[in-house]
């Protein structure tokens, strides 16, 4: 009978503040121990690297392509105002913005349609949005390279409809097309989640009160789905701004964007401090948009 | 994502908000166009991978030559195995760590929890390129230090790639497992503890079987991301450790060949299989949830 040690009745019955505090402390320690390995891992292999990038962005590139960490300066950030760099920054911002807008225009009606289907149809439709979402990113971009390439299906189509042989590959249009293709699911999913959450009776009420379809969209549906619009826009805008694979495969050398420019600094130009400064700019944009999102009461999806 | 699917079952579409007239036509057309946009390129790629033509986008009759080329090429085979090894190791480690952190965040209060939550969230939203730069600089600066401190013999290659993949996979696994944990009450665990189960027994026999679908879903996700990654791997890889996506990316930059079509389709099939598996797990998970609710 002594094999199982039961807590004595007195111990369990008297829930003194001390007893409770000790129990809470013990729980807290358990939680911390569980989180500990990942916590330590992420500090070492994520937070520390993040700090190193910031430190590098203040360093100087020496004559041999190495980096001198002594003597911090803002030279790398000053270079951001150089015409070439400014062009790249503005081009990236513009193309990322354009991608976001196009995704929004395509995804909004799609998400609304999705949200008004019956559950069975809806789940099926969602599954077919998820499949490209998880399909190999590189391969999906490569597919467009094949389609838009020399004598590929795209030129077949333009010739057939009498537009002549059009060359779309290695242009900004091709890059935006690739980006929209890559990130459209990122827009559809949060928009759908937001629209689905809306009480549909509000839309009915607005129509009952003689709002036109447009007014009901503008004054009821759109404001209520705003969290989804913002979340989707961030999820498309940030990766588009930092895109590297898509512009590299579809844009060629003429349309350098921020992502590819950063890579060049590390793998070819060997100017690590400048590359680190550019990465920091990208990171700052990401953090700002995310913080704004959460301040506005956004929620994780 | 699972949350989205779960929720759909509870509500039905309202009839008065059902689009009608020309709006309906536009919405329907848009829907079909979106799906055509998603799937036509993938379909064309698969078709052209069987084309007997040197030009990647031209149909020249059916052939399996390019797939033979894939099987025969020593480089692609080596790259494939590298990818598989790295994905396996990073999946196993990140599943253990990710599940532990999900449990900690969902079931416990502890000091530094909010910081941990934020830190866990960052790898998901940070752009690939930035993460790649971070890892490159980190390994350039700290591999020597780490080796001296821990007495390890880490070199750029397998360990740097696996360490980087784990760094972002933990977050994805933890998000998926957390979603699962958030959707189930802790009453059963508490009951087990009240009935004198040890903490470990309560986890092993009560919590674990319930969150298993979430863990499997997280594992498949971690594996998919590891197998797909190009940018970060390219930055931290070392001699002899080219993965399949990095190898293919290099080939594409040098010029497209039909061999790339075939390799791409193989990669496509691999990720499609993983997606299909995780959708299947999702189904099992939903069934499980419904049973628990008494349907």
Which of B199 and A176 is assigned the larger pLDDT?
A176
Q: What is the pLDDT of residue B9?
A: 40
Q: What is the pLDDT of residue B294?
A: 33
Is the Cβ pair B14, A275 closer than 8 Å?
no
Contact (CB, 8 A) for A293 and A234: yes
Distance from B117 to chain A by nearest Cα, in Å?
A: 9
Is the Cβ pair B271, A110 closer than 8 Å?
no
B41, B135, B272 member nearest A49 (Cβ): B135
Among B8, B9, B245, B269, the strongest candidate for a mutation testing the A interface, having the largest count of A CBs within 10 A, is: B8
- Contacts with B110 from chain A: Cβ below 8 Å: 28-32, 35
Is the Cβ pair B100, A129 closer than 8 Å?
no
Q: Which residues contact B136 (CB under 8 A, 6 or more apart)?
A: A266, B235, B236
CA distances from B19 to A187, A228, B4, B11, B225 (A): 21, 20, 22, 18, 38
B3, B41, B142 member nearest A147 (Cβ): B41
Instruction: Give the domain ranges of chain A.
Output: 91-295
Give the model confidence (pLDDT) of A237-253 as tens digits.
Answer: 999 998 999 999 998 77
Residue of B nearest to A275 (CA): B133
- CATH class (in words) of the domain with range A91-295: mainly alpha
Is the Cβ pair B48, A50 closer than 8 Å?
no
Residue with tokens 């027994």: B201
A181, A196, A249 member nearest B37 (Cβ): A181
Distance from B38 to chain A by nearest Cα, in Å?
A: 7
Is the Cβ pair B100, A27 closer than 8 Å?
no
Is the Cβ pair A276, B264 closer than 8 Å?
no
H helices present in chain A, as ranges: 9-13, 17-42, 48-57, 75-78, 83-115, 119-134, 137-148, 153-160, 172-197, 200-208, 213-216, 222-224, 226-241, 245-246, 258-267, 272-295
Q: Is A111 on the interface with B (CB under 8 A)?
A: no
Distance from A83 to chain B by nearest Cα, in Å?
A: 23
Residue of A nearest to B121 (CA): A300
Any idea which of A43-52, A288-297, B161-170 has the lowest mean pLDDT? Answer: A288-297
Is the Cβ pair A117, B127 closer than 8 Å?
no
**Domain B2-8+70-293 maps to which CATH number in 1.10.3720.10, 3.40.50.1110, 3.90.1580.10, 1.10.760.10?**
1.10.3720.10
Give the model confidence (pLDDT) of A51-83 as tens digits.
Answer: 999 999 998 887 776 777 777 888 889 888 899
Q: What is the pLDDT of residue B65?
A: 85
In angstroms, the CA A31 to CA B160 distance is 29
At A14, is the pLDDT very low, low, confident or very high (cuts 50, 70, 90)? low
Q: What is the pLDDT of residue B173?
A: 95
In angstroms, the CA A24 to CA B193 distance is 16
Q: What is the pLDDT of residue B132?
A: 95
Residue of B nearest to A42 (CA): B167
Q: What is the pLDDT of residue A67?
A: 76
Q: Is A275 on the interface with B (CB under 8 A)?
A: yes
Of A261, A135, A167, A145, whose CA–CA distance to B251 is shortest? Answer: A145
Q: What is the pLDDT of residue A162?
A: 75
Contact (CB, 8 A) for A106 and A176: no
Average pLDDT value for residue range A229-235: 90
Is the Cβ pair A245, B12 closer than 8 Å?
no
A249, A279, A290 member nearest B252 (Cβ): A249
B26, B134, B230 member nearest A49 (Cβ): B134
In angstroms, the CA B101 to CA B167 distance is 13
DSSP 3-state percent helix, strand, coil across chain B (nearest 5): 80, 0, 20
Q: Is A3 on the interface with B (CB under 8 A)?
A: no
Give the model confidence (pLDDT) of A108-156 as tens digits.
Answer: 999 999 998 988 899 889 989 988 888 888 999 999 998 988 778 888 8
- Contacts with B46 from chain A: Cβ below 8 Å: none
Is the Cβ pair B228, A136 closer than 8 Å?
yes
Q: Is residue A135 classed as helix, strand or coil in its secondary structure?
A: coil
Q: What is the pLDDT of residue B286?
A: 60
DSSP string, B34-90: HHHHHHHHHHHHHHHTTB-SSSTTS---B--HHHHHHHH-HHHHHHHHHHHHHHHHH
Q: What is the pLDDT of residue A297?
A: 59
Give the model confidence (pLDDT) of B5-45 as tens digits.
Answer: 444 444 444 445 677 778 888 899 999 999 999 999 999 99
In angstroms, the CA A96 to CA A179 distance is 8
Q: What is the pLDDT of residue A150?
A: 77
Residue of B nearest to A27 (CA): B108
Q: What is the mean pLDDT of chain A?
A: 86
- Copy the structure tokens of residue B24: 């309906």
Is the Cβ pair B126, A286 closer than 8 Å?
yes
Average pLDDT value for residue range B105-126: 88
Q: What is the mean pLDDT of chain B?
A: 85
Give the model confidence (pLDDT) of B127-138 as tens digits.
Answer: 889 999 999 999
Q: What is the pLDDT of residue B154?
A: 75
Query: Chains A and B: how many Cβ contacts under 8 Å?
Result: 298
Average pLDDT value for residue range B172-181: 91
Q: What is the pLDDT of residue B226?
A: 94
Give this prediction's pTM: 0.86
Q: Is residue B151 classed as helix, strand or coil in its secondary structure?
A: coil
Q: Which residues contact A137 (CB under 8 A, 6 or more apart)?
A: A182, A245, B228, B230
Q: Is residue A60 classed as helix, strand or coil in its secondary structure?
A: strand
Instruction: Give the domain ranges of chain B.
Output: 2-8+70-293
For chain A, positions 44-103, list CB contacts with chain B under 8 A.
45-50, 52-53, 56
Among B55, B133, B136, B252, the strongest candidate for a mutation testing the A interface, having the largest count of A CBs within 10 A, is: B133
Residues above pLDDT 70, as percent of chain A: 91
B23, B108, B230 member nearest A30 (Cβ): B108
> Would you say residue B284 has pLDDT above 80?
no
Is the Cβ pair A45, B167 closer than 8 Å?
yes
Give the model confidence (pLDDT) of B224-240 as tens digits.
Answer: 999 999 999 999 998 88
Is the Cβ pair A37, B166 closer than 8 Å?
no
ipTM for the complex shown: 0.84
Is the Cβ pair B137, A52 closer than 8 Å?
yes
Is the Cβ pair A238, B261 closer than 8 Å?
no
Residue of B nearest to A113 (CA): B27
Our CA angle for A218, A221, A224, nearest 5°, is 115
For chain A, positions 168-227, list CB contacts with chain B under 8 A.
181, 184, 188-189, 192-193, 196, 200-201, 203-204, 207, 213
At A105, is the pLDDT very low, low, confident or very high (cuts 50, 70, 90)? very high
Any idea which of A4-8, A181-185, B78-82, B271-275 has the lowest mean pLDDT? Answer: A4-8
Q: What is the pLDDT of residue B1?
A: 42
B48, B128, B252 member nearest A242 (Cβ): B128
Residue of A nearest to B161 (CA): A45
Is the Cβ pair B230, A150 closer than 8 Å?
no
Give the model confidence (pLDDT) of A252-288 as tens digits.
Answer: 777 788 998 999 999 888 889 999 999 999 999 888 8
């Amino acid at each position: 009978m002594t094999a199982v040690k039961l807590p004595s009745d007195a111990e369990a019955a008297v829930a003194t503040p001390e007893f409770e505090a000790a129990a809470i402390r013990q729980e807290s320690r358990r939680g911390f121990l569980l989180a500990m390995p990942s916590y330590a891992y992420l500090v070492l292999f994520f937070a520390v690297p993040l700090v190193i990038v910031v430190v590098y962005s203040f360093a100087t590139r020496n004559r041999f392509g190495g980096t001198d960490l002594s003597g911090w300066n803002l030279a790398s950030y000053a270079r951001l105002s150089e015409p070439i760099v400014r062009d790249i920054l503005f081009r990236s911002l513009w193309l990322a913005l354009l991608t976001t807008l196009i995704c929004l225009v395509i995804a909004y009606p799609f998400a609304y349609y999705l949200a008004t289907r019956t559950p069975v149809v809806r789940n099926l439709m969602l599954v077919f949005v998820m499949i490209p979402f998880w399909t190999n990113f590189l391969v999906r971009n490569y597919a467009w390279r094949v389609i838009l390439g020399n004598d590929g299906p795209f030129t077949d189509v333009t010739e057939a409809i009498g537009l002549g042989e059009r060359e779309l590959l290695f242009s900004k249009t091709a890059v935006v097309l690739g980006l929209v293709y890559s990130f459209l699911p990122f827009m559809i999913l949060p928009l759908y989640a937001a629209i689905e959450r809306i009480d549909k009776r509000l839309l009915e009420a607005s129509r009952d009160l003689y709002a036109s379809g447009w007014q009901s969209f503008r004054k009821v549906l759109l404001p209520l789905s705003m969290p989804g619009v913002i979340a989707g826009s961030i999820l498309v805008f940030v990766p588009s701004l930092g895109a590297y694979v898509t512009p590299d495969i579809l844009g060629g050398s003429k349309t350098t964007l921020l992502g590819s420019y950063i890579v060049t600094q590390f793998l070819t130009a060997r100017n690590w401090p400048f590359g680190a400064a550019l990465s920091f700019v990208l990171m700052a944009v990401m953090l700002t948009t995310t913080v704004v999102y959460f301040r506005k009461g956004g929620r994780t999806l | 994502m699972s949350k989205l699917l779960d929720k759909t079952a509870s509500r039905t579409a309202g009839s008065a908000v059902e689009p009608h007239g020309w709006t309906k036509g536009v919405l329907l057309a848009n829907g079909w166009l979106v799906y055509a946009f998603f799937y036509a390129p993938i379909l064309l790629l698969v078709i052209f991978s069987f084309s007997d033509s040197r030009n990647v986008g031209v149909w020249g009759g059916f052939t399996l030559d390019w797939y033979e080329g894939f099987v025969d090429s020593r480089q692609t085979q080596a790259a494939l195995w590298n990818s598989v090894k790295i994905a396996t190791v990073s999946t196993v480690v990140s599943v253990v760590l990710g599940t532990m952190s999900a449990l900690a965040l969902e079931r416990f209060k502890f000091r530094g929890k909010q910081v941990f939550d934020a830190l866990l969230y960052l790898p998901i939203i940070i752009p690939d390129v930035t993460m790649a730069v971070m890892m490159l600089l980190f390994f350039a600066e700290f591999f020597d230090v780490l080796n001296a401190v821990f007495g390890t013999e880490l070199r750029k290659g397998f360990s740097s790639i696996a360490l980087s993949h784990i760094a972002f996979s933990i977050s994805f696994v933890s998000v998926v497992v957390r979603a699962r944990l958030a959707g189930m009450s802790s009453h059963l665990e508490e009951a087990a503890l009240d009935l004198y189960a040890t903490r470990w027994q309560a986890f092993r026999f009560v919590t674990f079987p319930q969150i298993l679908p979430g863990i499997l879903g997280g594992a498949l996700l971690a594996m998919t991301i590891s197998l797909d990654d190009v940018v970060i791997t390219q930055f931290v890889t070392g001699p002899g450790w080219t993965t399949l996506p990095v190898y293919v990316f290099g080939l594409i930059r040098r010029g497209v060949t039909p061999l790339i079509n075939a390799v791409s389709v193989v990669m496509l099939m691999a990720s499609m299989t993983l997606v299909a598996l995780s959708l299947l797990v999702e189904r099992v998970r939903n069934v499980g949830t419904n049973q628990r609710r008494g349907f």
